[in-house]
Structure 1
Amino acid sequence: MQLGWLKIPAILLVILPFGWAGAEETQASWSRLMMEGEHKDNLNKYLAAIKIAEKSGENNPRLHIALHNAGVLCAWRYKNLDRAEELFKRDIAVLEKISVDFPDIVSDCYELANIYEWQGRYKEAEALLLRAVALRKKWEDLQSNDPFNAELYASLYTIYYVQGNEAKANEWKSQMLKSLALWHSDRTRGECLFKIDNNLYKYATRCKKIDPAKRKHLLEMALGFSMQSATCNRRCYGEWSGEVADIDVAGILMALGRLAESERILRRALSMAEEDLPGKKGYAFPTLARLATILCSQHRLNEVEQLQDDYLAKIANRFGKTSDTYIGEVSGCGEIWGNEKYPERA
């Protein structure tokens, strides 16, 4: 889930007073903390931003933005679901003081429902999602992308599908596909497809009690949406963007046990990333790490070492062996061995 804190809802800025004491300095501190929280995935920065916003009272729009982003990071990156639940519930309470029908409540309901889904708390998740759908209908809102309406419908489909309620599952699946069909541009359609596939993938891989056959079905659905998203990205942004989207495809293939297909995609993506250092360095190492997971699962340890040696040689050639970049990548390669339960090779 993207943490789009810079896109402050215009309606918030119109309705709510800021009320800052020492406004410029305080605003600069809050903005700095939010930027650091987003770019460094640092929960403590978001929590500090919450403290600053609290000084101006719960009517401050910055409090809502900081609470929501902290909740998203807790749930998706830190996997601290209890803390995330607290943050989303508090944010909903803040927004309900403005109006129980405030449109931004939809996003909190969706994120909190995801947590409940992963925990098997389906009744609570269902209630939140139905409330979110009702709010979107009340505002006649077809354009929002945080979440897309299709994401809400996908979550409802999942809830009913895993509980064996085929009629309701099919109803919400139909709504999901109709909502998706409203997006005609490759840019927006690709984004929506990615979010749906991520929704299904996260549930299938995080929920521990799901029936294996249903898990496979959800992953296969996610794979189909992911492949469509990659096609949209290629058409819209070019080959490299499609290759980045294919890394997501590779992750789903891994979860399905289709390791040879996943390996081919990752090797191709790694090769393309290594050809454009430093431009694509941010993609190269995560791709290498994912590829190492596949190879280690098949005890192909010498191939992992060779990949790492080749990669580090290219980093050294581009940045130098004394650079912070090279030292950091060497450390990262060592961590791969620890993560894959081969610390002696680090």
Structure 2
Amino acid sequence: MSVAKTMNNLAVVYQNMANYPEAERLYKKALAIEEKVSTRDNSAIASSLNNLAAFYDQQGRYTEAEAMYKRALSIKERLLGPAHRDTASCVSNLGLLYLHKKEYDKAEAYYRRALSICETTLGQVHPSVASEMSHLAELYRIQKKYNQAEPLLRKAMNMYEKKLGINNLEAALCMYNLGSLERDQGNFKKAEPLFRRTLGVRERLLGPGHPETIAVMRDYASVLKALNRDTDAEAVEQKFAKFVKAKPIKEKTADAPKTETAKTP
């Protein structure tokens, strides 16, 4: 493994440990090494740019992230073409960036482009197609465009279940977003089974103490209370009480930016 790849991997570890200054230093160092050893733009540079951009995106440093995402995309388009499946991840990351910036028209354009690339290169039924559908659906849900969001979420969830099985985290995220969509519209009876199923999958796959399990538990309990099922809500809360942290947990409703492993040109 190259020094730059090792640094990228270490940067991810530090980022997960919330040691952001060290993560940034390593991401930058990895990019500098790739740029120094390469006489031309290549996939390794694009990957390092993408990873640093994803870090900046998650830190809310959107101007820096946008510039690096666009440079990474330009390299991928030049090397692979604008409609290559590996180009789609850069396109999708730009969509997520614009969603974070609340520039929804731009986000939709990039998400639609990423979805089109995946459908063309991978076929109509593929986990990557489902991922891009769920991104677009979440964008619509945030804008309260529920009629556009719901069919995309259901199609994505069915696609995940067909390709990956019933018990997988990707389908569970679609279920969670569907539950959120129904709850947002006051449809608590429809939201309840979706949150319950999501909770079951996450408890099995992530464990009862995982932050994402606790997050959906809280949403499930709140829906039970809205349905006047206070006893059931209390039972759910008591089951997970020992795992609940004092610090509020924010549920992930969309994928994080996609990081990449640098490839040898």
The two structures have a TM-score, normalised by structure 1, of 0.54
3-state SS of paired residue (1:172): helix
1:74 counterpart residue number: 56
Q: Secondary structure at the match of 1:100?
A: coil
Structure 2 unaligned blocks of 5 or more = 16-22, 226-232, 250-265
> Letter of the aligned partner of 2:207 in structure 1?
S
Offset from partner CA, 1:171-217 (integer Å, 9 cap, x none): 4234323323323435xx4221354478789xx9xxxxxxxx99935
Matching residue of 1:190: 168
1:135 to 81, 94, 117: 117
Label 1:45 to 1:185 Cα distance change in 2 as closer, same or farther (>3 A): same
**Contact 1:250–1:261 (Cα < 8 Å) also in 2:** no
Could you tell me which residue of structure 2 aligns to residue 247 of structure 1? 214
**CA 1:243 to 1:165, structure 2 compared with 1: closer, same or farther past 3 Å?**
closer
Which deviations, in whole Å up to 9, do the C-alpha atoms of 1:143-171 show, x marking residues without a partner? 865xx433322232233345455553344
1:156 aligns with 2:113: no
String of CA shifts for 1:296-318, please: whole Å, max 9, x gaps: xxxxxxxxxxxxxxxxxxxxxxx
Distance 1:217 1:253 in 2: 15
Contact 1:109 1:128 in 2 (8 A): yes
Corresponding position of 2:149: 169
Point out the more displaced range, 164-173 or 152-161: 164-173
Amino acid at match of 1:70: L
Counterpart CA distance in 1 for 2:177 and 2:75 is: 26
Counting only pairs closer than 5 Å after superposition, residues 297-336 of structure 1 correspond to structure 2 as none
What do you get for the CA RMSD once the two structures are aligned?
A: 4.0
Alignment of 1:52-63 (within 5 A): 52-55=33-36, 56-63=38-45
Aligned with 1:139: secondary structure? helix
Contact 2:137–2:150 (CA under 8 A) maintained in structure 1: yes
Kindly indicate whether residue 48 of structure 2 is the aligned counterpart of residue 51 of structure 1.
no
Distance in 2 (CA, whole Å) between partners of 1:179 and 1:144 is: 7
Deviations 1:82-141 (A, max 9, x none): 222222212111100011112122222222212212332121111111111111111124
Give the corresponding residue for 1:107. Answer: 89
Quick one: higher RCO (CA 8 Å, sep 6+), 1 or 2? 2
Change (3 A) 1:169 1:233: closer
Percent identity reads 17
Find the aligned partners of 2:14 and 2:178 in 1 and give their Cα distance.
Answer: 26
Which residues of structure 1 form unaligned runs of 5+?
Answer: 1-26, 205-212, 271-286, 295-346
Q: Aligned partners of 2:8, 2:76: CA distance in 1, in Å? A: 20
Alignment of 1:161-310 (within 5 A): 161-163=141-143, 165=145, 167-186=147-166, 189-196=167-174, 216-217=184-185, 227-235=196-204, 241-244=207-210, 245-250=212-217, 252=219, 264=238, 266-268=240-242, 270=243, 287-290=244-247, 293=248
User: Any conservation in 1 of the 2:176–2:194 contact (CA below 8 Å)?
Assistant: no
Instruction: Look at both structures and tell me which one has the larger radius of gyration over its CA atoms.
Output: 1
Q: Which residue of 1 is the match for residue 47 of structure 2?
A: 65
Change in 2 beyond 3 A, CA 1:260/1:65: farther
Report the Cα distance in structure 2 between the residues aligned to 1:161 and 1:177, rounded to whole angstroms. Answer: 15
Change (3 A) 1:181 1:144: closer
1:95 paired with 2:87, answer no
